[in-house]
Amino acid sequence: MNPRLISLLSFLLCFGFADAATETTRPNLIWIMADDLGYADLGCYGQKVISTPNLDRMAKEGMRFTHFYAGATVCAPSRSVLMTGLHHGHTRVRGNAGKTNPAAQALKEGDVTVASVLQKAGYKTALIGKWGLGDVGVAASGLPRQQGFGYFYGYLSQHHAHNHFPDYLWRNETREPLSNIIVPVGEDGAGYATDAIQYADDLFADDALNFVSESKDKPFFLYWSMVIPHANNERGRILGDGAHVPDYGPYADKDWPKQDKGQAAMISRLDGYVGRMLKHLEELGLAKNTLVIFTSDNGPHNESKHDLKRFNPSGPFTGIKRSLTDGGIRVPFIAWWPGKVKAGESAHVGYFPDWLPTAAEVAQAEAPKNLDGISLVPTLFGKAEEQKRHEFLYWEFHEGGFKQAALYQGRWKGIRSGGPDKPIKLYDQVNDIAEVTDVAAANPEIAEKIGAYLKTARTPLPEWEPRWQADQKKKQ
């Protein structure tokens, strides 16, 4: 045979095998996110009342982060930060817009998400559960399959997602009816069930496992966005119990109010879902090639009318959901990848923008430039000395008057409200983890540095103009 032909065939065979090896060895990525789960709602983060053995096992076998933050203190902007790798002052969706301006709560054409980055790199992508960044009839550009997800099953509207027993769910852009009978309340499919038969998160768990089974021969990214333990706000207001769950599980015989039983049962049910997924990955032989992240979208709620003192979901921190103190934004964060992620505990300070660059690096994909996130790969692989660190982390909040917060050098938290020239409140997390004592007067240089940063931290968006600026314009 011609030596040149032999060389050409050898090259093609090597190239083909190398390409095949890359395809089969690039890791799978699973991001599992609870909704309104507090930092201390899990046993591995200090929970004493609610049982979470599967997540405790995940934390023991993987890496448990102790200083990790959500993208925002409420749902939609936190998810926008997660998807775009841009912090709260740069991402597209910066608040829960509600029915008055739903287009402001939708990603737009040109936004780049972690799903689109991975899809472009050849990953099979799916979102199962709650979206909240675009809806049918509002902004088609914000629908999951316009933002990099090849498959979607779940809720588009966050108000629809309040109802754990809905009368329909979306599969891609098709409404699929369920057998639950509901009392409609408000818009977007919200309400509560009178005949509660099909529990959405049970359906999501089954669908997530099925997606993994069907995708086992190709690299995949699964964004499994649970609804529990979020309350059914409408049911809570009308019936006094927003913790709607199929059964109370191990808490059925507790001498507790039903709201407390329901809250605990939701968290233990969530724990069971995670256990099923980890076991499924092991049975399919995928565990050693899959990075699994578990976290929550923001701090804990109290809208189910349950007793926060019983469960102490914020642990040592002050505040809950809608707070810019750590109780509203510091969340559990567990990374599990047997044989790859170093088991143990990490005090590295990170937050949701870090997911996009981390996923891109692990998947050998090209991430956008000018992200606010920093890849966590060095920390995950036990090379903390190589880990880059944030100088500032940033959040804002638009409900009830605009507020801003920043964490400087992983230690100093500054919070400003009332206007861009108002003084900030400064907390030293090293000596005051609960953020109780304002130390701005004793540390004027640090307070001034954070205050100056807050003035430049955000890019303007007409849909998300700070209310204090709007008030000033009205006076002119």
Per residue in 220-232, pLDDT (tens digit) is: 999 999 999 999 9
Confidence of residue 468 (pLDDT cuts 50, 70, 90): confident
Q: What is the sign of the dihedral through the CA atoms of 226, 210, 150 and 173? A: negative
Q: Give pLDDT, residue 469.
A: 54
Q: Give pLDDT, residue 21.
A: 33
Q: What is the sign of the dihedral through the CA atoms of 134, 136, 138 and 142? A: positive
User: Average pLDDT for residues 253-276, to the nearest whole number?
Assistant: 98
The one-character DSSP state at 423 is P
Structure confidence by residue, pLDDT tens digits, 309-335: 999 999 999 999 999 999 999 999 999
Confidence of residue 2 (pLDDT cuts 50, 70, 90): low
User: Average pLDDT for residues 140-155, to the nearest whole number?
Assistant: 96
Structure confidence by residue, pLDDT tens digits, 195-210: 999 999 999 999 999 9
The answer, yes or no, to whether residue 233 has pLDDT greater than 60, is yes
Q: Give pLDDT, residue 362.
A: 98
Specify the pTM. 0.93
In whole angstroms, give the CA distance from residue 248 to residue 259. 10
- φ and ψ of 396, to 5 deg: -145, 170
Domains of the chain in start order, with CATH, are 26-390 (3.40.720.10), 400-475 (3.30.1120)
User: Average pLDDT for residues 409-424, to the nearest whole number?
Assistant: 96
Lowest-confidence segment of 98-102, 166-170, 177-181, 285-289 by average pLDDT: 98-102
- If you write DSSP's letter for every residue of 248-263 in order, what string do you get? -GGGTTSSS-HHHHHH
Confidence of residue 14 (pLDDT cuts 50, 70, 90): very low
- The whole-chain average pLDDT of the chain stands at 93
The answer, yes or no, to whether residue 99 has pLDDT greater than 90, is no
Q: Tokens 């649970």 correspond to what residue?
A: 226
User: Average pLDDT for residues 385-410, to the nearest whole number?
Assistant: 97
Point out which residues pair with 417 in neighbouring strands: 403
In whole angstroms, give the CA distance from residue 405 to residue 396. 6
The answer, yes or no, to whether residue 22 has pLDDT greater than 80, is no
Q: Tokens 């660059």 correspond to what residue?
A: 357
Our CA dihedral for 184, 185, 187, 188, rounded to 10 degrees, sits at -60
